[in-house]
Amino acid sequence: MNFKDIMAADISAVFLNTDKFAGMHNINGQQIACIIDEDISKQRGTRQSENFDGIYARQLTVFISESELGYRPEQDQKMTVDGEWYMVIDCAAAGGMLEIELEANRG
Q: Is 50 exposed, middle or buried (0-12, 13-18, 19+ CB in 10 A)?
A: exposed
Tell if the pTM clears 0.85, that is, is over it: no
SS3 34: strand
Which residues 6+ apart lie within 8 Å of 100 measured at CB? 61, 62, 63, 64, 73, 79, 88, 90, 91
For residues 44 and 104, what is the distance between their CA atoms, to the nearest angstrom?
A: 18
Tens-place pLDDT, residues 20-78 = 889 999 999 999 999 999 887 655 555 555 555 667 788 999 999 999 999 999 999 99
Does the pLDDT of residue 85 top 90, yes or no? yes
